[in-house]
Homo-oligomer: A and B are copies of this chain.
Amino acid sequence: MRKSKSHIALVAGGAGFIGSHLCRALLDQGHEVICLDSLQTAREVNLDMLEGHRNFTFVRADIVDPLPDAVTRRRDISRIYNLACAASPPQYQADPEHTMLTSVVGTDRLLRLAEQNGARFLLTSTSEVYGDPEAHPQQEDYRGWVNCTGPRACYDEGKRAAEAMAFDFARLGRADVRVARIFNTYGPNMHPDDGRVISNLVCQALSGEDITIYGDGSQTRSFCYVSDMVDGLMRLMESDMPDLQPVNLGNPDEYTIMELLEEVLAQTGAASRVIHLPLPVDDPRRRRPDIRRAQTLLGWKPKIPLQQGLALTCAFFAKELYAGSAETFASQAALSVAAPGASIAAE
């Protein structure tokens, strides 16, 4: 990807897992970054690698509330990335009202900010908009199979509503929008307790705890390493979109949860006992992105295979679990190693 001219980018949710990598990559490309985060689910330590940078500003704010003056008085923001929302089921179900309002009210506030600044806006939506999909792999025009009354709906329907708002702003010429539908993503800076399958399995294996598998483990997921995801998001933001369509971003290599477990056990050398628990309500059976649209429009596809990405992730969690917390966070140097996709994106 060619390096774009220098921007002032606002990254909502910039202290989160993917957000922190995105901020880093934007700074590496010479952009100014304003990170907006409530620190509700973010690891504050994610900010450590960013806060010393002269082009980085952190503003603590919840996008459900009116945006702070530090943001609303600006007229020079040219890129707005919205990654703000609790994203793992235990986190987004802890306060479902807040999850819904984050997606809908938060996205509305940021869309209005984009309108006011003439900024381009990118919403990170999710593969959850496909629900428990009947179509496989999932193309962008598949309308999904979402239970709008269930316990996952606060997130799934919140994101569907946020997409609707974004495209309405675009249709009315109020903002220039991009919508990415992010599939499972993993890598350093994940929260060990976020309840997602990779952090669960790796941390349980590394700790020698029993490993919990929901259902029989035959359900599938497709895991994208975080540097590939950040590369995709930045390419999408800088692309010329021919029409009002979302774009899937994810790794199309599909694994059953049991296959993932085998890889984790092999890499960690753990001999943990495996305990099967019931599948959560509305848990999707299969997930694999059709990424032909991203390939065509963005020239993008993931570069990091699961084995490699998992090794980097295991190394990160091993440092987290075995060293003092002050030293455990993946250093900037370690992240450069862990993020070859991001450095390619910065070429």
Contact = CB atoms under 8 A, between A and B. Distances in A.
A244 B96 CA distance: 16
Contacts of A330: none
A147 to B, nearest CB: 6
B100 A164 contact: yes
A33 to B, nearest CB: 27
A100 B96 contact: no
A270 interface: no
A153 interface: yes
B165 A97 contact: yes
Contact of A160 (B97, B101, B161, B246): B161
**Chain B CB within 10 A, most for which of A154, A160, A167, A244:** A160
Contacts of A151: 168, 171
Interface string A3-36: 0000000000000000000000000000000000
A315 interface: no
Interface in A280-299: none
A85 interface: no
A154 B171 CA distance: 12
A164 B149 contact: yes
A105 interface: yes
Contacts of A147: 143
Contacts of A165: 96-97, 100, 154
B149 A245 contact: yes
B158 A164 contact: yes
A104 interface: yes
Contacts of A145: 143
Contact of A168 (B97, B104, B131): B97
B108 A97 contact: yes
Contacts of A172: 96
B144 A129 contact: no
B143 A163 contact: no
10 contacts: A101-B104, A104-B104, A104-B161, A143-B146, A146-B160, A149-B179, A149-B245, A151-B168, A153-B167, A154-B165
